[in-house]
Structure 1
Amino acid sequence: MGRTEYYHDPKPPKANTLIPACNLLVVNDANEILLQRRRDTGQWALPGGAQDIGETPAACAIRECLEETGIIAEITGFLGVYSNPDHIVAYTDGEIRQQYEVTYIGRPTGGEPTVNDEADGVRWVAPTDLSALDIHQSMHLQIGSYLTGTYPYLG
């Protein structure tokens, strides 16, 4: 399913859903951040996705991390809630979603970076190398909150 993101766009489509999603910002012992390159946008992002009914936000973040990157992780902290009415994601099936993401901080406990149906690239990235990657502004905000220590973010 394709998607188009509208971020502070003057004329975005009107949202018709608000779905809780959970991300996991995983940091390894070398202080590198785990990122995946999304197949649907080509941009690098934190692993994350929609929360399932019967699942806690923390369990969702851990599950999505494993599914999207091959990395098993545990949660070590809470980064924030990121919900911006000016960040709209339109899907080809007609869903138009307002961003709503609960983001945790974690550390790897196993697994290896692995590409899959959702990510055509998975890698550990040093903070100094982030500017060389195509990363959506909403992800920059979350990563920046972590790197500057300005969390929990409750936007």
Structure 2
Amino acid sequence: MGRTEYYNDPAAPKANTLIPASNLLVVDETGAILLQHRRDTGQWALPGGAQDIGETAAECAVRECLEETGIIAEVTGFLGIYTNPNHIVAYSDGEIRQQYENTYIGRPIGGTPTVNDEADGVRFVPPADLDRYDIHPSMRQQIRDYLAGTYPYLG
């Protein structure tokens, strides 16, 4: 399913859903951050996705990380709640979603970076190299908050 992201765009369509999602900002022992290259947008992002019934938000973040990157991680902290009503994601099936993401901090405990049907690239990126990557502004804000130590973000 295709998707188009709108960020602070007055031409964005009006949202028709709000679905809780969780991201996991995984940091390895060198301080590098786990990113995936999304097939649907062509941008680099933190692993994350919609929460399933029967799981906690933190469990969702860990599951999505494994599914999207091949990395087994554990939650070590909480980065924030990101609910910008000006971040809209329009899906090709007609769903138009307002951002609602709980973002956790984690560390890898196993697995190997693996491409899949959602990501055609997975790697740990040193903070000094992040500017070389096309990262959506909402993800960049989350990474910036982590690197600056300005969390938890409650917006």
Where 1:97 maps in the other structure, the secondary structure is strand
Root-mean-square deviation (Å) = 0.4
Deviation at residue 110 of structure 1 after TM alignment = 0.2
Q: Using the alignment, how far apart are the partners of 1:9 and 1:119 within structure 2?
A: 26
TM-score for the superposition, normalised by structure 2: 0.99
- 2:133 paired residue number: 133
Distance, in Å, in 2 between the alignment partners of 1:81 and 1:132 is 26
| Structure 1 position 103, deviation (Å) | 0.2
| Structure 1 stretches of at least 4 aligned residues deviating more than 4 Å after TM superposition | none
Residues 44-89 of structure 1 deviation map (CA, whole Å, 9 limit, x = unaligned): 0000000001110010000000000000000000000000000000
Structure 2 residue aligned with 1:5: 5
How far is 1:128 from its partner? Answer: 0.5
Question: For residues 112-155 of structure 1, what are the alpha-carbon distances to aligned partners after superposition, in whole Å with 9 as ceiling and x for unaligned?
Answer: 00000100000000000000000000000000000000000001
String of CA shifts for 1:89-121, please: whole Å, max 9, x gaps: 000000000000000000000000000010000
Q: Is the counterpart of residue 109 in structure 1 residue 109 in structure 2?
A: yes
* TM-score computed with the length of structure 1 as normaliser: 0.99
Q: How many residues align?
A: 155
- Counterpart in 2 of 1:151? 151
- Letter of the 1:137 counterpart: P
Unpaired runs of 5+ residues, structure 2, are: none
Once the two structures are superposed, residues 9-60 of structure 1 have per-residue CA deviations (whole angstroms, 9 ceiling, x without a partner) of 0121010000000000000001000000000000000000000011100100
Distance in 1 of aligned mates of 2:9 and 2:23: 24
